[in-house]
Copies of this chain bind each other. A is one copy, B any other.
Amino acid sequence: AARRLQASVGSGGGAAREEMRQAVVNTLERKLFYIPSFKIYRGVAGLYDYGPPGCAVKSNVLAFWRQHFVLEENMLEVDCPCVTPEVVLKASGHVEKFTDLMVKDEKTGTCYRADHLLKDFCKDKLEKDLTLSPEMAGEFKHVLAVLDDLSPEELGAKIKDYGIVSPDTKNPLSAPYPFNLMFQTSIGPTGLSVGYMRPETAQGIFVNFKDLYYYNGQKLPFAAAQIGQAFRNEISPRQGLLRVREFTLAEIEHFVDPEDKSHPKFADVADLEFLMFPRELQLSGESAKLRKLSEAVSKGTVNNETLGYFIGRVYLFLTRLGIDKSRLRFRQHLPNEMAHYAADCWDAEIECSYGWIECVGIADRSAYDLKAHSEKSGVPLVAHEKFSKPREVEKLVIVPSKKDLGLAFKGNQKMVVEALEAMSEKEAMDMKATLESKGETNFQVCTLGKDVVITKKMVSISMEKKMEHQRVFTPSVIEPSFGIGRIIYCLFEHSFYTRPSKSEEEQLNVFRFPPIVAPIKCTVFPLVKNQEFDNAAKVLDKELTAAGISHIIDTTGISIGRRYARTDEIGVPFAVTVDSATEVTIRERDSKQQVRVGIDEVASVVKQLTEGQSTWTDVEFKYPSHIGPQGDQE
């Protein structure tokens, strides 16, 4: 863990990164890829709008996600509300555990994340304090490594020991206390029904498991998927678009028999090779290494084939969007990062100017979520495997004597009965033994919050042989969860480059978005203002619209070079210059190569290019290239 942290400390710095980020962010803001929300009212930290090109990139990413996952895997897509009643998020654990530790400036009341303050303090000491003793340096490094595991008390003690004060006022700070990150609200007019804005979309799928299982013909495995808004009321948002208070998630819940996690299409991804960062590499201080997916699964580095299949599919999704594969790694969670119930977790991390950022989490969550909702709701969320012939099994049979229990516990009888029936095989057999030897035993009834005395006649416990016709079990769930905004921000950084202008005085900005992602697929420029070219542009406008291709007609009459620069800056892959009534040139953004194409073919050529049915190389092969005054105007 120490090593891992060090890597992320190191990667955050660097003036070059800072400068590169500034160049990207300036272009993104100037071109309205995004806008701080409610800017005219001085904004709200952690809330951003997507402006026109950003919004188009987002819909393209989501459309491709639907094609790549929902359509190709026949997933059941659902769409659930954001407003969620408390009972659901109590069952999922969010009401109790979805918290960050917060400290308050004792005089102004300003709030800070306790771990952020401690992290900043330690990093600052390590980077800037030249008089630091090796012992203290070691201690600060250790603190950074174990930061996520500190209890509120330990965090508070460190803050006190190091004399950390409020960064803005230097006032003393309160002790750390948990702050729930869900936006709370009230459903209906009475004010009595607590609700929250969902912190993830997954719960909407889990509560529908039963219906979806029947919809799927009671067959496993199957996956459900959901795209939607999620909300986290961050204490003090930072890192721009990466840590926000409202964001779009795309989540998949793949339900599978826990006894068979093979995947029929694993062979399709088995040969992929990419950067993997399993636990042992992290713990031994090495970096991520190229690994073949089939090996990672067969050697057990990745827990099972289905988890491996989704890792492969996520790799294909991200790289096809335009994420640089040399800056993408799959990092396995360390044991202390994982929830106790999880079988294995891998994050797709993308490197950007902020360091390695978790963009997709791929977790085998075992049966935890379905079991939690079964218990809380009383509705069994289970699957059935019908046996071809009945099997003999030994089964625990617990028969509470309602009469004796009723006499002893009156109104509490029901809760005692339920607690008895809910005993595990081990608990029940222990009780049986005690009852047989002592005649009575203490028994904890959680729903009553106390122990009761159970006597021998109150319950009969036995193991009986039975013929079973089916196996009833709670499916495991494998969950790939995509932070769409983070993926898009990383894509912006990976796609951005500059090239010299013709005059060499300024750098021109370019986004090398693949056609599938580009917000606008092509621009149409009449070379000079005249009726003939304008008419041709109008015809193209109609044809491109009919073909469903987003485009801009630019009739401003400024120089072709400047028009190219404008469209490069929002990543338009193809520019069509109209210089005759019958033929045009199409220019590819990155190579700046041009071909001549008949006007009536333009829409279909661009459509095939943007839908991936042909490549620019195909087009260059088929159509005559064009070298002329419009060739390179910058």
> CB within 8 Å of B: which residues of A?
31-32, 35, 37-41, 44-45, 47-52, 54-56, 58-59, 66-67, 71-72, 74, 76-85, 87-88, 102, 109-111, 179, 183-190, 193, 195, 197, 204, 207-208, 210-212, 215, 217, 229, 231, 233-236, 245-246, 373, 376-377, 379, 381, 545, 548, 550, 552, 556
Q: Please determine whether B245 and A550 come into contact, CB atoms closer than 8 angstroms.
A: no
Q: Please determine whether B78 and A207 come into contact, CB atoms closer than 8 angstroms.
A: no
- Of all chain B residues, the one with the shortest Cβ separation from A231 is B83
- Of all chain B residues, the one with the shortest Cβ separation from A47 is B81
Q: Please determine whether A45 and B548 come into contact, CB atoms closer than 8 angstroms.
A: no
Q: Please determine whether A189 and B179 come into contact, CB atoms closer than 8 angstroms.
A: yes
> Bound complex: CA of A37 vs CA of B211, how far in Å?
12
> Bound complex: CA of A185 vs CA of B82, how far in Å?
13
A102-B379 contact, Cβ under 8 Å, with A50-B79, A79-B50, A83-B245: no
- Of all chain B residues, the one with the shortest Cβ separation from A75 is B52
> Bound complex: CA of A35 vs CA of B226, how far in Å?
15
A179: chain B residues at CB < 8 Å are: 189
A190: chain B residues at CB < 8 Å are: 109-111
A55-B39 contact, Cβ under 8 Å, with A187-B245, A188-B235: no
A72: chain B residues at CB < 8 Å are: 545
Other CB < 8 Å A-B pairs besides A32-B215, A185-B197, 12 of them? A39-B208, A40-B381, A41-B85, A41-B88, A41-B207, A44-B83, A49-B80, A51-B78, A51-B208, A56-B77, A111-B189, A189-B233
A197: chain B residues at CB < 8 Å are: 82-83, 185, 197
Q: Please determine whether A246 and B35 come into contact, CB atoms closer than 8 angstroms.
A: no
Q: Please determine whether A207 and B80 come into contact, CB atoms closer than 8 angstroms.
A: no
Cβ 8 A contact of A85, one of B38, B74, B102, B545: B38
Q: Please determine whether A67 and B229 come into contact, CB atoms closer than 8 angstroms.
A: no
A79-B102 contact, Cβ under 8 Å, with A71-B550, A185-B184, A208-B51: no
- Of all chain B residues, the one with the shortest Cβ separation from A209 is B40
A211: chain B residues at CB < 8 Å are: 32, 35, 39, 51
A44-B85 contact, Cβ under 8 Å, with A111-B190, A189-B235: yes
Query: Separation in Å of the A74 CB from the closest CB of chain B?
Result: 8
A215: chain B residues at CB < 8 Å are: 31-32, 51-52
What are 19 residue pairs bridging A and B, where the CB atoms are less than 8 Å apart in the complex? A31-B215, A32-B212, A32-B215, A38-B87, A40-B377, A41-B85, A44-B85, A44-B187, A49-B208, A51-B215, A52-B76, A54-B79, A55-B78, A58-B79, A67-B548, A81-B246, A82-B229, A183-B185, A184-B185
Query: Separation in Å of the A548 CB from the closest CB of chain B?
Result: 6
Query: Separation in Å of the A55 CB from the closest CB of chain B?
Result: 5
Q: Please determine whether B51 and A59 come into contact, CB atoms closer than 8 angstroms.
A: no
- Of all chain B residues, the one with the shortest Cβ separation from A188 is B233
A233: chain B residues at CB < 8 Å are: 186-189
Query: Separation in Å of the A325 CB from the closest CB of chain B?
Result: 23
Query: Separation in Å of the A105 CB from the closest CB of chain B?
Result: 11
Cβ 8 A contact of A185, one of B41, B48, B185, B548: B185
A50: chain B residues at CB < 8 Å are: 78-80
A373: chain B residues at CB < 8 Å are: 40
> Bound complex: CA of A49 vs CA of B197, how far in Å?
15
Query: Separation in Å of the A610 CB from the closest CB of chain B?
Result: 13
A49-B37 contact, Cβ under 8 Å, with A188-B235, A550-B71: no
> Bound complex: CA of A556 vs CA of B217, how far in Å?
10
A377-B41 contact, Cβ under 8 Å, with A32-B211, A50-B79, A55-B77: yes
Cβ 8 A contact of A35, one of B44, B66, B208: B208
The residue among A87, A185, A381 with the most chain B CB atoms within 10 A of its own CB is A185
A74: chain B residues at CB < 8 Å are: 552
> Bound complex: CA of A116 vs CA of B545, how far in Å?
46
Query: Separation in Å of the A613 CB from the closest CB of chain B?
Result: 9
Query: Separation in Å of the A197 CB from the closest CB of chain B?
Result: 7
> Bound complex: CA of A185 vs CA of B184, how far in Å?
6
A83-B246 contact, Cβ under 8 Å, with A77-B52, A184-B186: yes
Query: Separation in Å of the A208 CB from the closest CB of chain B?
Result: 6
A41: chain B residues at CB < 8 Å are: 85, 87-88, 207, 376-377
A80-B185 contact, Cβ under 8 Å, with A44-B85, A72-B545: no
> Bound complex: CA of A186 vs CA of B197, how far in Å?
11
- Of all chain B residues, the one with the shortest Cβ separation from A31 is B215
What are the nearest 9 A-B pairs in CB distance?
Answer: A50-B79, A40-B377, A111-B189, A40-B379, A52-B76, A81-B246, A49-B80, A183-B185, A55-B79
A45: chain B residues at CB < 8 Å are: 188
> Bound complex: CA of A211 vs CA of B548, how far in Å?
26
Q: Please determine whether B550 and A83 come into contact, CB atoms closer than 8 angstroms.
A: no
A77: chain B residues at CB < 8 Å are: 52, 55-56, 59
Query: Separation in Å of the A93 CB from the closest CB of chain B?
Result: 15
A49-B78 contact, Cβ under 8 Å, with A235-B189, A548-B67: yes
Query: Separation in Å of the A230 CB from the closest CB of chain B?
Result: 11
